[in-house]
Amino acid sequence: MKSFAYVILPALLYSVSAVAQHESVIRVTSPIEAVTVYMNGAEIKQSKQVDVKAGNNTIVFQRLSAYLQDQSVQVSVDGEAEVLSVTATSNYLNIEKMEPRIKLLKDSIALFTSKIASLNNQIDAFNSERALLNENRNIGNKQTPTSIAEIDKAADFYQQKTLEVNNAISKLNEQQTELNTQYSLMQSQLQALNYKNNPERKEVTVVVNSSADKSITLHLRYVVNNAGWEPAYDLVATDVTKPITLKYKAKVYNNTGIKWENVPLTLSTADPLQSATRPHLSAWTLNYSDSYNGEDDEETSVNKEGLLNENNVGQTQGMTFDWQFHSADSTKVTISKRNRGVSFKSVNVSELNTTFVIPTPYTIPSDAKPYQVDITSYSLDAVYGYIAVPKLDRSAFLIAKVSGWEKLNLMDGPMNVYFNNAYIGQSSINTRFIEDTLELSLGRDNQILVTRAKKEDFGSKKLIGTSRKESYKYEIVVKNNKTVPVNIEIQDQLPVSQESDIVVDAEDISGAVLDVPTGKLQWKTSLAAGAGITYKLAFSVKYPKNKAVEVRKFRTINCPDF
């Protein structure tokens, strides 16, 4: 058995040596050639030409993003060679040289941490001394009376010591506040520098077998997190007689740790990690949506017909974004999650994936900030008109109605509105409830006056047997002070009863079109320059007198509370 072992060992050594002679390790770096940005990720494309030897060759792509998704890696080869295996691993040893500013900040943070700890110890000591003084304020006892002189002396002592302790604590608290402020600033600076100097990197190792020494090109594709894009629009109108221009844009962010330097971009609404399993159809059902009831109440302003009611409480400084706003259908868009300084929200996209190839290369730094990318521009024929909802707002809003919008691949997103070379405000595109016509708001026109007044002399409340009847009468006046005729739509509403013993009677609606299920009233008219028109609205509500019905609606605003 011993002699057999000596015979096998040289053979094994020879075999290992032979394999090593036919296998080489090639470590390469390659620039990013193209990026497909998804709404919640990005696909990176790189390639590298390498010279391989006959046999197995190990090629290692170095310094890739730490957010590379291992299961997404794909490698193809140009040339007669076979890819045997592909693996992705993290490399913590290939740490780039630490930037001097990072080392300086870390040293400063350590020093400030020590100072803050020292201050806390001093404050604790003074608090203990103050507690000791409070516990020993009583002097003397019942058996040993205390003289007035001793009381005065003790009072002076406690007053002086308490004042000294309180002053010392106040001074230490001021120093502590200043140190904490500087400490927070240094932490923020260190975080910003770490975004650019993240030492962690991924590597992709590819084993290739070649029949001869030759030159081959490896193509590497993989998906990374911490990247994405959001749709945005600019709506430009110069005159109501000319087409409008809709500029389709995107806000692209890159927080992958790798800068995208002058690369071709493609924007996509697809899922970057889509499954290879075939899809299965489920039942397609239609229901009434709870988030849209066809009409605003008095608390929602004019979000659907007018400008977006945006409540942007975000910060665009540094790397933290907290976006919160109301969509065009008055539904608040909520933040769903946060990812290293970037927040995400849900948007509606078509079931079919949409791809936009950007013709001009862009440079997107890895700093988590949004960078604007121009997608395309549309010149759209529009029908212009005005809409007013005097119950909610006494302004008339200029509306551009566009047909055939389905061909434009639009998605929900904010929109900056420009009219007559002036910035009007921010609106939004909401495709969820759009039918065959897309309505785009161009803002208020103060040359059209709209008023809605309650005629108090004609309103009344009456008791009729066991019922109570309330009558309401309003007068709506529209005046066109422009020098050109206008088409305008006036909207109002009647209350809708949801109880059998509550009866709503429309007594006078001045020829308005009534949508019975929603109670929505609609007047459409054409007003000549300088002309005006008056509409009357009268209705009554009858209900049992022993029940309370809130007919009037109120809006909620904030005010000081003194």
CA 200 to chain centre: 28
The pTM of the whole model exceeds 0.75: no
Q: Output DSSP code: residue 331.
A: P
**DSSP string computed for 429-473:** E--SS--SEEEEEEEEETTEEEEEEE-TTT-EEEEETTEEEEEEE
The residue type at 554: F
| Integer Cα distance of 430 and 251 in angstroms | 17
CA 193 to chain centre: 24
pLDDT tens series, the chain, 562 aa: 333 333 333 333 333 333 444 456 899 999 999 999 998 899 999 999 999 999 999 999 999 998 999 999 999 998 789 999 999 998 765 455 556 777 788 888 888 888 888 888 888 888 888 888 777 766 655 556 666 777 777 777 777 888 888 888 888 888 888 888 888 888 888 777 765 555 578 999 999 999 999 999 999 999 999 999 999 999 898 888 888 888 999 999 999 989 999 999 999 988 776 665 666 777 766 554 444 444 344 333 333 333 323 333 333 333 333 333 333 333 333 333 344 456 666 665 655 678 899 999 999 999 888 999 999 998 888 888 999 999 998 899 998 888 777 778 788 888 888 888 888 888 778 776 666 777 878 888 889 999 999 886 554 566 676 888 888 999 999 999 999 999 999 999 999 988 888 899 999 999 999 999 999 999 999 999 999 999 999 999 888 888 878 777 766 777 787 7
Q: In Å, how far are 14, 410, 501, 520, 523 from 392, measured between CA atoms?
A: 90, 29, 28, 13, 16
Pairing type for strands 41-52 and 325-326 reads unpaired
Q: Among 239, 455, 267, which Cα is nearest to 362's?
A: 267
pLDDT at 404: 72
> Which 3 state secondary structure label does DSSP give 395?
coil
pLDDT at 199: 59
| Integer Cα distance of 477 and 472 in angstroms | 17
Q: Among 252, 267, 271, which Cα is nearest to 72's?
A: 271
CA 376 to chain centre: 22
Domain boundaries, the chain: 26-94+201-224, 100-139+151-196, 227-272+296-445, 448-544
Q: In Å, how far are 1, 17, 382, 421 from 6, measured between CA atoms?
A: 9, 17, 91, 92
- Measured in degrees and rounded to the nearest 5, phi and psi for residue 496 equal -110, 120
Q: Among 243, 231, 451, 475, which Cα is nearest to 356's?
A: 231
**DSSP string computed for 45-68:** EEEEEEEE-SEEEEEEEEEE-TTB
Inter-residue contact 57 to 42 (CB < 8 Å): no
pLDDT at 389: 94
Q: Among 307, 308, 347, 349, which Cα is nearest to 326's?
A: 308
| Integer Cα distance of 38 and 353 in angstroms | 11
Q: In Å, how far are 21, 56, 130 from 84, measured between CA atoms?
A: 18, 9, 75
Match domain 448-544 to its CATH number in 2.30.30.40, 2.60.40.3680, 3.30.43.10, 3.40.50.620. 2.60.40.3680
Match domain 100-139+151-196 to its CATH number in 1.10.287, 1.10.10, 3.30.1460, 1.10.8. 1.10.287
pLDDT at 83: 93
| Integer Cα distance of 76 and 448 in angstroms | 65
pLDDT at 512: 95
> Which 3 state secondary structure label does DSSP give 416?
strand
